[in-house]
Amino acid sequence: MLKKPARPNFGQIAPDVICLGVWTGDEMVLPRAARTQRRTRIQEEKEEQILEAALEVFSANGFRGSTIDQIADVAGMSKPNLLYYFRTKEAMHRALIDRVLDTWLDPLRAFDAEGNPVAEIRSYIRRKLEMARDFPRESRLFANEVLQGAPHIVGELKGPLKQLVDEKAEVIRSWAKAGKIAKCDPYHLIFAIWSTTQHYADFDVQVRAVLGQENAGEGRFEDAARFLERLFVDGLQVRE
Amino acid sequence: MLKKPARPNFGQIAPDVICLGVWTGDEMVLPRAARTQRRTRIQEEKEEQILEAALEVFSANGFRGSTIDQIADVAGMSKPNLLYYFRTKEAMHRALIDRVLDTWLDPLRAFDAEGNPVAEIRSYIRRKLEMARDFPRESRLFANEVLQGAPHIVGELKGPLKQLVDEKAEVIRSWAKAGKIAKCDPYHLIFAIWSTTQHYADFDVQVRAVLGQENAGEGRFEDAARFLERLFVDGLQVRE
DNA sequence: TGATAATTTGACCGGTTGGTAAACATTACA
DNA sequence: TGTAATGTTTACCAACCGGTCAAATTATCA
């Protein structure tokens, strides 16, 4: 028992469709969004809501382990409604990765060649630990992805990420050459800082289980910071 | 069009069913397995095959991301056949965890209170790195599990694992007290060794992507070993 | 060697999952 | 304020997924 729409209509045009018009007589009529080139208030809000929910779910279950229904639930909207904004599960995941990757790499970008080496390394560790504490979901999102072979982000890893690391590795190498820190492989140094700090986000359950109820409070980040700063600063000091 | 079995039969008795008999007249007849108390050659072989395949699949996709069909495919047998040996996906996963966890903790167990502290730490790092190189799937199996909240192994983490770590932490603390190594939080030291070494298994794709084609050969484990030994040994040296 | 037990398979089932179609409801601009 | 355009919902579908069943096949041992 189908009912014709009362008036002609462009029909369902998802927010991510760039342009789609209809011929009326001999001129093409574009939908409003295509004319104004602007996203609706509702679009901004809903996409925000969805990405927040997607982060929650993807980071906890990985891509394949997450379902659109779960995300819709967390976002507080119906599944088809969610699919109106992101047409596939992949699209949501991609949008999320794109949004998060940049801020995730910020601490490394802040690594300053002109600064004091020891102070730079120390503050890099501290910043990474703060991110592990304040944005564990973002960390787990990437961890899940990389762990399962990074099917959706290999490009980013081999491109922008490698480039950035290459650049910073050169800085570290120059510090070592100038005798400001011990000679060491800069790449493995960066890996070591990444792994030790992100460990507190990615393996949080394990860390808390091992520390036990009494020591698993927020203080663990301070303890970790103290230990890691000491380890890296002393471990990288020049020795003869 | 059902056909009666030509002769009486115990029917489907999965290998993990302990005992199940039938009354024939007035005496109970037990199946052969119950009488001989022995597992078949075929059972040993097939369970081995299945667990190997399960390791491959679970470690690459996580629990929820893996399907029984995938595992059956890799194991080279039909799904119902696989389910004849392990009655549920959970049972397979559990069997796998149980088998792997022990060997996974071996290096930490080998940590010797009587040994030379620096040598012990150095050899622990080396052993963990060797495991990351030789058994990356085992590492990823746990990483996937822990990352997603360790739903299936919380018990192991809070029980046997915590206990073992507590014990070894005490050893480290005594070394520090005796002035053999720098004073430091033993738990965070262990976390640091775990994370830096397992990083090369769990984040392998990322490591290889960042190192680039030329440096991503097997030599990366030697480079990592050199760097990490140096870092921890120097970082833990007593200073005044 | 033949009966009995162990193993394997194809067909199937109910629930879930990613995604669609079309009707309905709301918003925003001319 | 009316109407074109945007946003939401209900009902649905086909593929997938974990698991079962009964029959067929193969191995074992008295």
Tokens in use for A190? 């960066």
Asked whether residue B36's C-beta has any atom of DNA/RNA strand D within 7 A, the reply is yes
What pLDDT sits at residue B33?
66
Q: How far apart are CA A233 and CA A238, in angstroms?
A: 10
Mean residue pLDDT of chain A comes to 89
- 0.85 surpassed by complex ipTM: yes
A105 touches B at CB < 8 Å: no
In this complex, do A239 and B234 lie within 8 Å of one another by their Cβ atoms? yes
Q: Nearest nucleotide to B64 by CA–C1' distance?
A: D17
- The full set of domains in chain B, from first to last, is 34-87 (1.10.10.60), 103-138+150-240 (1.10.357.10)
In angstroms, the Cα distances linking A22 to A8, A9, A30, A192 are 10, 9, 7, 57
* A9-48 residues touching B, CB cutoff 8 A: none
User: How many residues belong to chain A?
Assistant: 240
Q: Are B113 and B177 in contact (CB under 8 A)?
A: no
CA–CA dist B116, B100 (Å, integer): 29
Pairing mode, if any, of strands B22-24 and A22-24? unpaired
By C-alpha distance, the chain A residue nearest B201 is A147
Rounded mean pLDDT of A63-85? 97
Quick count: other Cβ atoms within 10 Å of Cβ B86?
24
Apex A88 CA angle, A86 and A92, nearest 5: 55
- Please tell me the predicted confidence (pLDDT) of residue B6: 38
User: Which positions 28-87 on chain A have a beta carbon less than 7 angstroms from any atom of strand D?
Assistant: 29, 31-34, 40, 42-43, 46, 77-81, 84
| Rounded CA–C1' distance between A97 and D16, in angstroms | 27
Q: ∠ at Cα A193 (A205, B120), nearest 5°?
A: 80
CB atoms within 10 A of CB B160: 13
**Residue A78 belongs to what H/E stretch?**
none
- Note whether B219 contacts A: Cβ–Cβ < 8 A: no
CA angle B185–B176–A122, rounded 5-degree value:
45
Strand partners, A28: A23
Q: Which nucleotide is nearest to A46 (CA to C1')?
A: D7
**Window A:135-194, CB contacts with B under 8 Å:** 140, 143-144, 146-150, 154, 157-158, 161-162, 165, 182, 184-185, 187-192, 194
Alpha carbon of B108: minimum distance to chain A alpha carbons (Å): 14
Maximum alpha-carbon separation in chain A: 87
User: pLDDT means per 10 residues in chain B (240 residues)?
Assistant: 39 64 57 63 88 98 97 98 98 97 94 93 97 98 97 95 97 96 97 98 98 91 98 89
CA B123 to chain centre: 21
